[in-house]
Homo-oligomer: A and B are copies of this chain.
Amino acid sequence: MAVYTDISEDELSAFLGDYDAGRLTSYKGIAEGVENSNFLLHTTEGSFILTLYEKRVDPADLPFFLGLMQHLAKNGLSCPLPLIRRDGGMLGQLAGRPAAMVTFLEGMWPRKPTVVHCRETGKAIAAMHLAGEGFEITRRNALSVAGWRPLWDKSEARVHEIDATLRDEIPSELAFLEANWPKGLPAGVIHADAFPDNVFFLGETFSGLIDFYFACNDFLAYDVAICLNAWCFEKDGSFNLTKGMALLEGYQEVRPLSEAEAAALPILARGSALRFFLTRLYDWLETPPGALVVKKDPLEYLRKLRFHAHVKSAADYGL
């Protein structure tokens, strides 16, 4: 939730000269996206989002992210469409940073997701999985099972600041997940970060998916597991079975899960909970006090992890 870089009208107008997007009439830094600087632009042609990629994004990944949005939009998914520059590319430079413009999506992310939002999100994620077929660039998921132990190694020495018992619990989780992580499930491009703030609605009607900056190639069902964690728990930590059922039904309306995928859901959800626990733990311990970001509580995901460890089958999620 921060604008890291301000830009002058002169440099922005020069940047816009490389596009056929009309004349600039206003731009506002917006409180959206924690990794990049985002601006909402009005021009004589309409509204656009301008993103300046800050240092947490690897520039080598940008052709994947931008190409993916273009591919998904071409295949009918409602998502921001990168504008093509006069030189044929999608990426420019602004204020010394890689920068791109995308179409503005009307819609709001649900601060209080309902059962209908969960169903529509299930459908949207399945639609994204289908629309992603045939996309030729690939990007490894650095935050899947192989990436968790190195992440843990960076936080282990200070984890007692949060809870000393984690020094035993997390290594045993890691060992279990590494030994039992599924193999050979249907794979493709996943969103990998489809939290409520990345799914837009007009009322309860899905209007678009945004923020593909964690997208990568992985098991499709892992994306479903991420959504179960992100959408189907209540603030008190309880799992809402009705929401789980709606999300999974929505997903299967568009892309039915195979038996193997359904069987793997508990371990995928457990792994996904560990992944968000570990990144939040790292950020929690490493972010200097008072930095311009809101720190997210890692313990929320520890509680989800423990829940999934006791789940017997995907039926417990409402399948």
Asked whether A62 is an interface residue with its Cβ less than 8 Å from the other chain, the reply is no
CB of A98 closer than 8 Å to a CB of B = no
Size band of the interface chain A makes with B: 35 or more
Question: Which residues of B lie under 8 Å from residue A2 when comparing CB positions?
Answer: 31
Chain B hits for A111, CB < 8 A = 6-10
Bound complex: CA A9 to CA B196 (Å):
13
Among A158-166, A173-181, A213-221, A283-291, the stretch in contact with B: A283-291
Query: Which residues does chain B contribute within 8 Å of A24, judged by CB atoms?
Result: 108
B202 touches A25 (CB 8 A): yes
Q: Which residues on the B side are within 8 Å of A3 (C-beta)?
A: 1, 31
Contacts of A292 in B (CB 8 A): 292
Contact of A8 among B10, B32, B106, B112 (CB under 8 A): B112
Chain B: CB-nearest residue to A9:
B108
What's the least CB distance linking A80 to chain B, in Å?
Answer: 13
Q: How far is the CB of A108 from chain B (nearest CB, A)?
A: 5
Within 8 A of B (CB), among A24-71: 24-32, 40, 42, 47
A110 at the interface (CB under 8 A from B): yes
> Nearest B residue to A107 by beta-carbon distance?
B26
Residue of B nearest to A112 (CB): B8
Q: Which residues of B contact A40 (CB under 8 A)?
A: 28, 30, 40
- Residues from chain B with a CB closer than 8 A to the CB of A7 are 111
Q: Closest CB of chain B to A105's CB: distance in Å?
A: 8
CB A126 to nearest CB in B, in angstroms, measures: 24
Which residues of chain B are within 8 angstroms of A112 by Cβ–Cβ distance?
8, 10
Q: A29-B31, A40-B30 are in contact. Are A9 and B110 (CB under 8 A)?
A: yes
List the B side residues contacting A291 at CB < 8 Å.
290
Interface mask (A79-120 → B, CB under 8 Å = 1, otherwise 0): 000000000000000000000000011111011100000000
Question: Which B residues are in CB contact (< 8 Å) with A29?
Answer: 1, 30-32
Q: Contact check: which of B8, B9, B30, B288 meets A28 at CB < 8 Å?
A: B30
- With a cutoff of 8 Å between Cβ atoms, the chain B residues found around residue A110 in the complex are 9
Q: Contacts A40-B40, A42-B47, A112-B10 given; indicate if A26 touches B288 (C-beta within 8 A).
A: no
Q: From A289, which residue of chain B is reached at the shortest CB distance? A: B290
> Which residue, of A40, A104, A288, has the highest number of chain B Cβ atoms within 10 A?
A40
Q: Which A residues between 244 and 273 are near B, CB-CB below 8 angstroms?
A: none
CB neighbours of A9 from chain B (8 A): 108, 110-111
Q: Given A31-B31, A42-B47, A111-B9, answer yes or no on A26-B290 (Cβ-Cβ < 8 Å).
A: no
Chain B residues whose CB sits within 8 angstroms of the CB of A107 once the complex forms: 25-26
Give the nearest-CB partner of A49 in chain B: B28
Contacting residue for A108 out of B1, B26, B108, CB 8 A:
B26
Q: List 5 A-B contacts (CB under 8 A).
A: A8-B111, A9-B110, A26-B108, A28-B31, A30-B40
Having A26-B108, A30-B31, A290-B290, one finds 8 other A-B pairs with CB under 8 Å, namely A1-B3, A8-B111, A9-B108, A9-B110, A10-B112, A25-B106, A26-B200, A40-B40
